[in-house]
Amino acid sequence: MENKIEILPLTESEVTQAAALERVCFSSPWSEAMIREAAARDEMVFLAAHVKGAFAGYASMLCVLDEGQICNIAVARPFRRHGVGRALIDALIEEGKRRSLATLMLEVRESNAAAQALYEAVGFVRDGVRRAFYSAPREDAFLYHFGLKIPGPETS
């Protein structure tokens, strides 16, 4: 798929598509109302990916103080393994830098090897496990972080 991936803020008209994608991708999906309510908050970032004008996926992140918690990254099946997930993550990293965040964090199902490989390829570091974090099915969550700020010289 040699198509340009465009990342833009999720629009009100795309909330229904994001919720439909949630139902396909996740066992505990966010509802349309949950997405709409979260997207209205200043500390939330919602991005949509488009390929040739088609809705290809979306991502969300909660920004609190100097941390960004990546909540969801979902890519429609026809667009998987074509750079859409990577483009969404890269856009979240850029948004984190724009907001002067120090770190981004996320958790991922132990069984989601494809997502883990993507996060590690981007530079996320696995640094913990939440036992039995997910339900349907019950599964551990691997915790990842990505440092955004380069430590400066120490001051005394």
Strand ranges of the sheet holding 54-64, from the earlier edge strand across to the other edge? 5-9, 44-51, 54-64, 67-75, 103-109, 139-147, 125-134
Query: Number of folded domains in the chain?
Result: 1
Angle between helices 32-39 and 15-25 (to 10 degrees): 120
Catalytic residue of the set 119, 120, 139, 144: 119
Q: What is the CATH number of the domain that holds 95?
A: 3.40.630.30
CA distance 73 to 118: 12
Catalytic residue of the set 107, 120, 134, 144: 107
Instruction: Judge whether 12 lies within some domain.
Output: yes
Active site residue 119: yes
User: In a structure prediction context, what are the per-residue pLDDT tens digits for the chain, which is 156 residues long?
Assistant: 457 999 999 999 999 999 999 999 998 899 999 999 999 999 999 999 999 999 999 999 999 999 999 999 999 999 999 999 999 999 999 999 999 999 999 999 999 999 999 999 999 999 999 999 998 889 999 999 999 976 566 544
Instruction: Judge whether 156 lies within some domain.
Output: no
The pTM of this model reads 0.91
* Domain ranges, residue 113: 5-147
Active site residue 58: no
